[in-house]
Amino acid sequence: MHGAFADSSGWYGAMDRLRKDGYPVRAASNPLRGLPSDSAYVRDFLNSIKGPIILAGHSYGGEVITNAAAGDPDVKALVYVAASVPDVGESLADLTAHLVDHPATPLPLQEVEFTKPDGTQANDVYIDRAKFREVFAADVNPTVAAGMADAQEPIDLAALNQTATAAAWKTIPSWYLVAKQDQAISPDLERWMAKRIGAHTVEIDSSHAAMVSHPGAIADLVEQADRGTS
């Protein structure tokens, strides 16, 4: 499950490796319209899959899988990749505000107003394209990172303050990948979240876009989660 400013194509490298190792894979599209509706959308997607599921989420996608997987008996493991992992009643803004020794610099966001289907006004946010690679994908090939910047999927600004209503990690075993060079989420905050949820944790020298720059590490972590819950 991708997060804000990304799309499902970021998982392609890890998916290719998992297919070669015999795993069936699916990548859900995250609508990025708000935590309640995004979670409901992903829960319906999970209901369409038969058999045990290892559910992975990156960045804001971590919040979505935390909500969506709660109570789903088919989800046997959660894999968080440089992800936000809330407890019940916490929002992305709450997590970002948590005090750590080395906090991340606020992202260079740009707002674009849009009209919702009901006629009300809202705001999407994007990362400034000129700074996208620096803060999101510093170790990604510059040409690939430029494409990611130009094709980034925005998130509704309201989603940043919407709170989790469930915490699947309380009942489902979790794995967490800390991106030690992350400029979007503080690595210290990632470590704190991973420790709080009792996740099996690995750390790699990666930017925020770890699934793009280190697909092998992501595939390895998914396979660790499979072996650890078999």
pLDDT in tens, 142-193: 999 999 999 999 999 999 999 999 999 999 999 999 999 999 999 999 999 9
**H helices of 85-186, where?**
92-97, 132-136, 142-150
Identify the band that residue 98 occupies on the pLDDT scale cut at 50, 70 and 90: very high
Model confidence pTM above 0.85: yes
Residues in the chain: 230
pLDDT at residue 39 greater than cutoff 90: yes
The residues near 109 (Cβ < 8 Å, ≥ 6 apart) are 125, 126, 127, 128
Tokens, residue 218:
């992501």
Task: Output the pLDDT for position 150.
Answer: 97
- Residue entry with tokens 């990948």: 177
Q: What is the three-class DSSP state of 126?
A: strand
Name the DSSP class of 116: -
Task: Output the pLDDT for position 61.
Answer: 98
Question: Is there a contact between 53 and 126 (Cβ–Cβ < 8 Å)?
Answer: no
Rounded CA-CA distance 69/52 in Å is: 12
Question: What is the average pLDDT value for the chain, to the nearest integer?
Answer: 97
State which amino acid sits at residue 143. Answer: T
Identify the band that residue 118 occupies on the pLDDT scale cut at 50, 70 and 90: very high
Q: What is the three-class DSSP state of 41?
A: helix
Task: Output the pLDDT for position 230.
Answer: 85
In the chain, % of residues over pLDDT 70: 100
Rounded CA-CA distance 59/75 in Å is: 19
Mean pLDDT of 13-39: 97
